[in-house]
Chain A
């Protein structure tokens, strides 16, 4: 696995180890928070999904009703009503306002419709069929209401979809790339530090052993020197050679340990 062998390119020092540990803590906390955010968004997303399905299906019904009322209006007021309507268009009296709703840091648009100014079509169908025309108008306003709701649901759906994808991507990146990499780096630094410590320990041991040996050597040299001196003294006193004095000394030590003379 490529993620396992990966680590950051750092100098293995105690300071770096501290920094890496802090970063790992940060990454873990970030991961937990993002996971929570993703969950919250998913809950919202499912609610919207359910609402979209039901609203889309009710939309068909409402459009059918409004089409039918238009047909009624046409029948009563005559076919030429559409020309009157098409010609009298000036500025929109029915508009939508959009505002934002904040869900776990994701801004979702919400539309709502409102009427502005007086309706221009008041005089439409004055000659005949005025009531049908007004009914038709009301039916279409109702249709707009449903459509606007559906539009905000749909927009929220798309925005949330995108946001959930991004959040999940981040969660996965933290979990599968950033955290293993930091962990690898930390274990690498720890390994290197241990290695250094062992090396140091070994070096100390070695030096200690060397010192010990030196002291022993010096002690032995001193002892020899003292013995030599003693033999010399004996040889001078008794008039024998130094070798004979050595032999005398060693012979005395070998055989007559308990004889005092």
Chain B
């Protein structure tokens, strides 16, 4: 179809992260981390000194890079740039909100999950009505 977003198929893509230090360390241990020739990393460690601007820039960079397929973002970080996350609607890279150690996961705040829940309720209501 002409108006749907083009989905690139790639043989190898990266997983980017914008999370707190512990989560980053864990995923780096799993082998997700990547540093390219310009010493650019595919992750951003968010601590108390990180500004919202830095997070925004990292989010924008990760979502526009072609070699990234999935962006993991801690929920409390996503809440800081909620307007960006909510306005993002491309299929690739996929934005995933993950829980972090110090902040419990709240499904109600997830932008995708709230849409899912909304649709789910609407659909179940619609299906009972028919």
Contacts and interface: CB of A to CB of B under 8 A. Distances in A.
- A, B co-complexed: yes
Interface of A: 46, 49, 52-53, 56-57, 59-60, 63-64, 66-67, 70, 81-82, 85-86, 89-100, 105-107, 109, 111, 113-116, 119-121, 124, 133, 136-137, 139-141, 143-144, 147-148, 150-152, 154-155, 157-159, 161-163, 166
The prevalent SS among residues of B at the interface is: mixed
B27 A144 contact: yes
Contacts of B8: 98
Contact of A144 (B7, B12, B32, B95): B32
A159 B105 CA distance: 25
B70 A111 contact: yes
Contact of B35 (A63, A85, A90, A148): A90
Question: Which range contains the number of B residues in contact with the other chain?
Answer: 35 or more
A166 B101 contact: no
Interface string B1-30: 101110111111111000001111111111
Given A49-B119, A95-B14, A140 B27 contact: yes
A96 to B, nearest CB: 5
A168 to B, nearest CB: 13
A137 B29 contact: yes
A127 to B, nearest CB: 16
A107 B25 contact: no
Given A67-B22, A147-B70, A98 B9 contact: yes
Contact of A109 (B35, B41, B91): B91
A10 B39 CA distance: 67
